[in-house]
Structure 1
Amino acid sequence: MEIKGKSVSSVSINQVTKSYGKISVIHGLDLEIEDGEFVVLVGPSGCGKSTLLRMIAGLELISGGQVSIGSRVVNELPPKERDIAMVFQSYALYPHKTVAQNMAFALKLQRVPKAEIESRVKLAAGILGLDGLLDRYPRQLSGGQRQRVAMGRAIVRQPQVFLFDEPLSNLDAKLRISMRTEIKELHQRLKTTMVYVTHDQIEAMTMADKIVVMNSGRIEQVGTPLDLYDSPRNLFVAQFIGSPAMNLLEGSLIKHSEAAIVTAGGLRIPAIAPPTLAIGTGLVFGVRPEHVRIDDAGFPAAVVVVEPMGAETQVTFNAQGTEFAGVFRERIRAAPGEIIRISFDPDRIYLFDKQTGHRL
């Protein structure tokens, strides 16, 4: 079952800026969101992702640049004329209205015929599994059910673009996982353009067609989840994408032949370095925890903490004053202080320029 009557639409952001007085928070962003794409804006608190979403919605005026939805420039259009629907962190449901009445309210304001309202509400309820809850009030619903009602309220409007502003932040961990799946399934079913804001990179990785990593009002990198995971452009993206985070060890290049770097604590690590790089150049060596290996021919490292996680075991090591984490599929039974020899997968090593943070 699909919602009819509305085509998907692209969103184009060209040199968009936002300032509050003399304080600039968005710095000339360019971003193309394709028709039907699920795009996640992700980054730490204060990076500008919610501000950008609100500018797309028309809830924030842009200071410069241009926002287009489909073929229309919407800079001067009020939110109600942009053909978007927004789902917020708070459910914002009317407590005195039933589920059906909450979902239908915006359509009644638009004077949509009663029969069409009932049809749209029934369709949305079927998509979201709310069929048996239409006569209930918000106080009679769980947090996940309330969030589905908020999404249903957006769906019945049949917008060109859905906007989500951290919609799962108020839910417990288990419910967040199930709601991630529901929202992804919703997108696959509706095939409508969706822009989703979160600070949680796990949400971004599991849900997005395309991730936009933001930092301090700028875009650091845009790509598919695996593009960003496998090929981070710089230190910020490398640290932000991935859980547990990538291990980053500071050191310097000590030779080109069978290239190696050495950390401040004296740990010597084989690495592939560009031949043009000067000996002594400051580097940051990166390796993801799952690419740390137990290896009898490796270097000795002391176990600091062992964290059993069921399917995996996470171990924090210390080697010559340098701490890093490893994730292993096998069960690791080791006591703190125990010495284990380990190595790093040579094909999965990243080198970054210490000064610029750019990947070499």
Structure 2
Amino acid sequence: MASVTVNKVDKYYGSVQVLHGVDVNIADGEFVVLVGPSGCGKSTLLRMIAGLEEISKGEISIGGRVVNDVAPKDRDIAMVFQNYALYPHMTVKENMAFSLKLAKAPKNVIDERVGKAAGILGLGQLLDRYPRQLSGGQRQRVAMGRAIVRDPQVFLFDEPLSNLDAKLRVQMRTEIKELHQRLKTTAIYVTHDQIEAMTMADRIVVMQGGYVEQIGAPLDLYDHPNNLFVAGFIGSPSMNFIEGTFRTDGSGGMVVAKDGVTRLPVPARLGGKDGTEVVYGVRPEHLYISESGQGVPAKVVVVEPTGAETMVVVHMAGQEVQAIFRERHRFEPGQDVMLLPDVDHLHLFDKRTGKRIEA
């Protein structure tokens, strides 16, 4: 096991810069997820850690050793790819043992490591099969087994679940997390799926346009996003954003929405200067039905019951807003309702800079 340090790393392709001064410190044994939209630079960063891409500027260290000029095979890392990358003419056992054979490991060591990995991943009955005889989930387990037998300092995962169906993805992300808890090996995992990031990571690195927007524990990012991008990217369904103008009053403040009519409550803790153009953020689960008749008027547009909860799209403050209710309400399209934002879970952002406003 080893720590990984990415220090002020830039990446250029010709004159085009795709990574800008990236700083990430990953502790020994930590599971860190790099997440962001396509093109944000997360896979490029992972490939630079693996040694598959050159570093234009800055340093990457693994276990305290700078690896900028170290060949991939000498970095003591193991990578699991999106497309499995299994040899079709080799059995499961042969695929898992291949790297050890290249390293000229003794046969008893190979058998021991392959057997141990197969036991961990539930592949014991499949060792004599070929990849074509396996399901997608089984192939991904073999790819992970091939990485495990190397006993590396760091595991690198490049969107390993994106080729699987939805149900299998849920199962496999649980298995990967259990695997990490058992092996305690440092892991860096790339995905564009923020649900994977939230459920698997010890810490998340949110990236956009080659920049690191925020690093933190999953619930810290969810509850305290630094800016509009992180607030909108983390969480499903995403946070509702309502543009308006901050106004102060005797009890704290309010946001007057762009429709010029709707008043949205703001607690004093969020601060803000009178007249500032802001974006009012509230998550769907933090909107409640008003029992007193006081609140923000809204009109039901679409009702989507899922069983455990009901998602409702409403027209509020001149735009469509999503609300989620765990209680059973009978909503009808066109129905008028009054909604109360939970003032303990509101977010206020400066419209010009996109940054979170704090008192």
TM-score by length of 1: 0.96
Alpha-carbon distance change, 345 to 275 in structure 1, aligned in 2, over 3 angstroms: closer
Gap regions ≥5 residues in structure 2:
none
Which residue in the other structure is 1:260 paired with? Answer: 254
- The alpha carbon displacement at 1:81 in A equals 0.4
Match of residue 342, structure 1, among 339, 342, 352: 339
Larger deviation: 309-318 or 117-126?
A: 309-318
- The alpha carbon displacement at 1:255 in A equals 2.1
* CA distance in structure 2 between the partners assigned to 1:250 and 1:331 by the alignment: 30
Match of residue 13, structure 2, among 20, 45, 51: 20
After TM superposition, list the pairs within 5 Å mapping 1:113-152 onto structure 2. Answer: 113-152=106-145
User: Is 1:207 aligned to residue 200 of structure 2?
Assistant: yes
Match of residue 58, structure 2, among 49, 62, 65: 65
Could you tell me the percent identity over the aligned residues? 66
Deviation digits for residues 152-199 of structure 1 (CA, Å, limit 9, x no counterpart): 000000000000000000000000000000000000000000000000
Q: CA RMSD in A?
A: 1.1
Deviation digits for residues 297-348 of structure 1 (CA, Å, limit 9, x no counterpart): 2232100111111211100111242221111102232121111111101111
* CA distance in structure 1 between the partners assigned to 2:217 and 2:265 by the alignment: 29
User: Is 1:74 aligned to residue 71 of structure 2?
Assistant: no
Match of residue 282, structure 1, among 274, 277, 298: 277
User: Is 1:310 aligned to residue 332 of structure 2?
Assistant: no
Deviation digits for residues 121-141 of structure 1 (CA, Å, limit 9, x no counterpart): 000000001011101111111
- The alpha carbon displacement at 1:225 in A equals 0.2
Q: State how many pairs are aligned.
A: 353
Which residue in the other structure is 2:163 paired with? Answer: 170
Match of residue 230, structure 1, among 212, 223, 242: 223
TM-score by length of 2: 0.96
* CA distance in structure 2 between the partners assigned to 1:221 and 1:272 by the alignment: 25
* CA distance in structure 2 between the partners assigned to 1:320 and 1:159 by the alignment: 54
Gap regions ≥5 residues in structure 1:
1-7
Contact 1:17 1:62 in 2 (8 A): yes
* CA distance in structure 2 between the partners assigned to 1:338 and 1:70 by the alignment: 60
* CA distance in structure 2 between the partners assigned to 1:11 and 1:141 by the alignment: 34
Contact 2:277 2:351 in 1 (8 A): yes
User: Is 1:270 aligned to residue 251 of structure 2?
Assistant: no
* CA distance in structure 2 between the partners assigned to 1:10 and 1:256 by the alignment: 51
* CA distance in structure 2 between the partners assigned to 1:156 and 1:276 by the alignment: 54
* CA distance in structure 1 between the partners assigned to 2:60 and 2:242 by the alignment: 41
Larger deviation: 230-239 or 293-302?
A: 293-302
